[in-house]
Homo-oligomer: A and B are copies of this chain.
Amino acid sequence: MLSLAIFAVYRQTLVAFDLLSVSSMSSSQILALSCPDRPGIVAAVTGLLQSAGGNITEAQQYNDPQSDMFFMRVAFDIDDPLAFRGAFDTLSKSFNMDWRLRDASRAKRVLILVSKFDHCLVDLLYRTRLGELDMDIVGIVSNHPRDALRISNLHGAPFYHLPITKSTKADQEARIDALIEETDTEIVVLARYMQILSDDLTHRLIGRCVNIHHSFLPGFKGARPYHQAHRRGVKMIGATAHFVTPDLDEGPIIVQGVEPITHADTAARLVAKGRSIEQRVLSRAVKALIEDRVFLNGARTVVFD
């Protein structure tokens, strides 16, 4: 454990060093913010960027007339991101902003939790290697041993077998929690991890933990959704990627996908078809998350494509 803690400190030092080292050349940054809506936000943000020599390469905003909240994502190039960070910190206070600013070239640190159904894991790893998903997989956790997974090569991602029983549930979760701390995990992906996280951990991960549910929520909550769908005789099945919250299967939805089925599809075929949908939906949600495109908006989300 000590070594992991030291590693985390080392990592943070690197991050700080990163921020310093880039200060002398142009850097790509991503700013994501939300705040109560009021006139002048876009002008203030883009005005500050302009005066700091920033050049916007992509920008999106949305104001929700119902919650009266404002959401904005700006990608920009700038010579002195540290100076901008300081100036923006001041500005953010006057608008009561919740915000993140980061170097776009630094991949997000992602921890993947999985059971023995590993099709989503396989897909996430392959897309990461292709460069489609720009993320740093700091670990793969499973409650099953390594050889319960079909996948043969984790490509260097550390694997943690953290078995779980009724009596060890709290312990196991504490180890996950420690792992999140030690690896500076920014995003936790439940890639068909069939265990329920505690309310406490869920609370601390709000807005950072995504789950793939194998149904088109809110239909077919609970267990064995494809079998439920087959029994109900629906003509389309789907999958839902959502933020994890203490309310099981009620978390804010990020991405959904569906495919048509027919009367001739058995429950087993629905499971097979569903795997493709789950892969597609989860990878889209993870991509949106690691690119800072997803915002919590009460029980809903804002997702900037």
Contact = CB atoms under 8 A, between A and B. Distances in A.
Majority secondary structure of chain A interface residues (helix, strand, loop or mixed): mixed
Interface stretch (A12-20, A53-61, A164-172, A194-202): A53-61
A132 B238 CA distance: 18
Interface string A238-274: 1000000000000011111110001110100000100
Interface string A271-305: 01001100010000000000000000101111101
Contact of A263 (B119, B257, B264, B300): B300
Nearest to A220: B218
- Place the interface of chain A in its size category: 35 or more
B272 A256 contact: no
Copy number of this protein in the oligomer? 4
Interface in A200-247: 216-220, 231-236, 238
Interface of A: 39-40, 42-44, 46-47, 49-50, 53-65, 119, 122, 126, 129-130, 132, 150, 152-153, 155, 216-220, 231-236, 238, 252-258, 262-264, 266, 272, 275-276, 280, 297, 299-303, 305
Given A152-B152, A232-B300, 18 more contacts: A40-B50, A42-B42, A43-B49, A43-B50, A44-B50, A58-B62, A152-B153, A153-B153, A216-B216, A216-B236, A217-B219, A233-B301, A235-B253, A235-B254, A263-B297, A263-B300, A263-B301, A263-B303
